[in-house]
Amino acid sequence: MIFTSSIYKIPIVKNVIVFDETDSTNNRAKEFGKNGCVDRTLVVSDCQTSGRGRIGRSFSSPMGEGIYMSLLIKPDVENRLIPCITLLAAVAVSRALYNNHQIDTKIKWPNDILLNNKKICGILTEKCEDFIVIGIGINVNNKKFESRLSDKATSLYIETGQEYDREALILEILKEFNTLYDTFTENKNLKFIIDEYNEKLINYDRDICIIPAELTAKIENPYNIQSDNLPSYHCMGIATDGSLICRDSEGKLFQINSGEISVRNKE
């Protein structure tokens, strides 16, 4: 991938490191961070041999088809607010696709972006020492997926019949992220995007089940978990700290944090 100098006009990017191939751009960014690399370093690769997702999942990263990037930043916010960054990144991707390409996506809390009900993007935010790494993976020009993924994952190409310039998309996403991140670090909460996030939230005002990480970690394909036997809750949207507000069958409200769980809509 080749970036023009316009990427350095986005304040959130001070340094760009590009690989043809690496195991995971999150791993590289963490390594650079530990070795004292500058804040606001962007790591991009044309393919990943061990792309990682949340809760021990893998992220399929074939050569030249998707976007695999990680941004290393040192946010001046409390630890409890770090999960908010994942939600900001999700809104940034969603805004970039809509504002520049009229592609209308949904967000599955906290970190997946769906197009026509299938996943096109995943976000993995990791904290390491005094910095965090925001990893974003997008299925852009993929023509097909292996059979175990094909009913859950899709790409921009499959859904729109068009190929997209990955460098241009990266710029569009980072511009949106930059704006959102500035407001967030000033406000220290997500109040300013709650309505927008909830509008895009595929779980909003729906019955959901909450799947603990122990369950997803045990099986080879977490998408196959049978959720019928798990209790139902009602999703009330996100709170200002990025947690998900749920209502149980007795009407009691509680909040869940993204760390060790995932949620799924009941059919």
Residues that bind ligand BTN (CB under 6 A): 24-26, 48, 51-54, 57, 59, 68-70, 111, 122-124, 135-137
Q: Minimum Å distance from CB 35 to ligand BTN?
A: 18
Using the minimum distance from each CB to ligand BTN, give the nearer residue, 3 or 189. Answer: 3
The separation between CA 250 and the C-alpha centre of its own chain, rounded to angstroms, equals 32
Using the minimum distance from each CB to ligand BTN, give the nearer residue, 6 or 49. Answer: 49
Q: Minimum Å distance from CB 23 to ligand BTN?
A: 8
State how far the Cα of 208 lies from the Cα of 54, in Å rounded to an integer.
19
Query: What does the block give as tokens for 15?
Result: 């340094």
Residue 76 buriedness (CB in 10 A; 0-12 / 13-18 / 19+): exposed
Query: What does the block give as tokens for 8?
Result: 């350095």
Q: Minimum Å distance from CB 245 to ligand BTN?
A: 22
Q: Minimum Å distance from CB 179 to ligand BTN?
A: 21
The separation between CA 207 and the C-alpha centre of its own chain, rounded to angstroms, equals 22
Q: Minimum Å distance from CB 252 to ligand BTN?
A: 29
Asked if 77 contacts 185 with a C-beta cutoff of 8 angstroms, the reply is yes
State how far the Cα of 255 lies from the Cα of 57, in Å rounded to an integer.
24
Using the minimum distance from each CB to ligand BTN, give the nearer residue, 69 or 180. Answer: 69
Using the minimum distance from each CB to ligand BTN, give the nearer residue, 32 or 59. Answer: 59
Residue nearest to ligand BTN (CB): 122
State how far the Cα of 57 lies from the Cα of 211, in Å rounded to an integer.
14
Using the minimum distance from each CB to ligand BTN, give the nearer residue, 42 or 208. Answer: 42
* Bridge-based pairing state of the strands 118-128 and 112-115: antiparallel
